[in-house]
Structure 1
Amino acid sequence: MELNVSELAVARGGVPVLEGVSFSVSAGEALVLRGPNGCGKTTLLRTVAGLQPALSGVIGLEREAMAYAGHSDGIKAVLSVRENLQFWADVFGTGTIDPALAAFDLHGLIDRPAGALSAGQKRRLGLARMVVTGRPVWVLDEPTVSLDMDAVAMFAGAVRTHLAGGGLALMATHIDLGLDEARVLDMRPFKAKAPSIDDFDGAFL
């Protein structure tokens, strides 16, 4: 299993933000994208995950191998923790939710409605969805938002377990996750060039 990205160019709102992005991540590896806010990390992750088209370039892995977690926790407030996870386990056909409950210490909250959880607990539940997907490629955008130090450590442990099982992870985060083994890719060198006046086809003339 390997995720290969070659000469990828992506846009936000029709405006190019990154170009020439190339990297590869193999099974058992994690790659962390770094760069200032607004540089295009989220746009890149959404493109890799198949949620929006690329301007150009190649993503060398089927989208069906990927599970994506963005800024939204992706949970149903009226369902319990158990019901939320079981829904996703049924969707992905993985069956058991026990490993996800254990990874994010959710057993004590299993019958609580998701809407009654704290922000950090909701985030833990949202990230636990990644475990129940059974998909080998995790694409994660700022996964530790709202998490305290203990929960960040839980997340790092879940990632390590995923990698040890032959999975791989692509993440954007400003937080030190304690994953010293993860490689880091700086997005700043891939900033798209500003469009020239000719690119506007004389629209303002």
Structure 2
Amino acid sequence: MSKSDDLKKQAALRALELVVSGMRLGLGTGSTAKHFVAGLGEKCAAGLDVKCVPTSEETRKQAEGLNIPLSNLDELGGLDLTVDGADEMDAGLTLIKGGGAALLREKIVAAASTRMIVIADESKLTERLGAFPLPVEVNPFAHETTAQMICEAISTNGLSGDVTLRGDDNPIMTDGGHYIYDCALGHIEDASSLSEALLNVPGVVEHGLFLGLATGAIIASDTGLKEFGEI
């Protein structure tokens, strides 16, 4: 196991301590979330009673392989806790997500949760968001026109950078049947303003800025675990 992977596992194991029987859980997507799901599978095998909603088909397959009880978000009517990773996070718990092309379902699940705990290694923590390209999920119909309007929305926020279709000639298709455009902005001064501008673009389904959704974070570093917000 690499050093980075070991740190991710440490954060995931700490998050598992928050889980108790009877909980309704949201299961995140990505390399860090995989450690959480793996540990959860062991707990379920030992008798833990939970109901879970995966944020991607990838996570669904992993959870099913571990016999983790899965349910439907509509049936559960809400979740007690979602544990997920992040591509970037600042000290105010604002996130960039979507590197794994699961941002739409991740945001739906996070918004339906009483608590969202981010687990990550220290490389994901930043003073200012934007070094990681911001993913924007769009409807395939006239997506190039949508991309042009995304560029305009970015420009009105005083930002610039390449906006590229993920997968180029073979576009990545999300679980929801959409495309992803990655916006290499370098920095984001006003995440709220940019969020509003992007959501006003016809054809944009969702974007990877997670504002006010994470309630806490567990960040693993060489010197131990750091916790932000309410865990």
Q: Report if TM-score (shorter chain) is over 0.5.
A: no
Q: Which has the higher contact order (CA 8 A, sep 6+)?
A: 1
Q: Who wins on radius of gyration, i.e. which is larger?
A: 1
Per the normalisation by structure 1, the TM-score is 0.29
User: Structure 2-normalised TM-score?
Assistant: 0.27
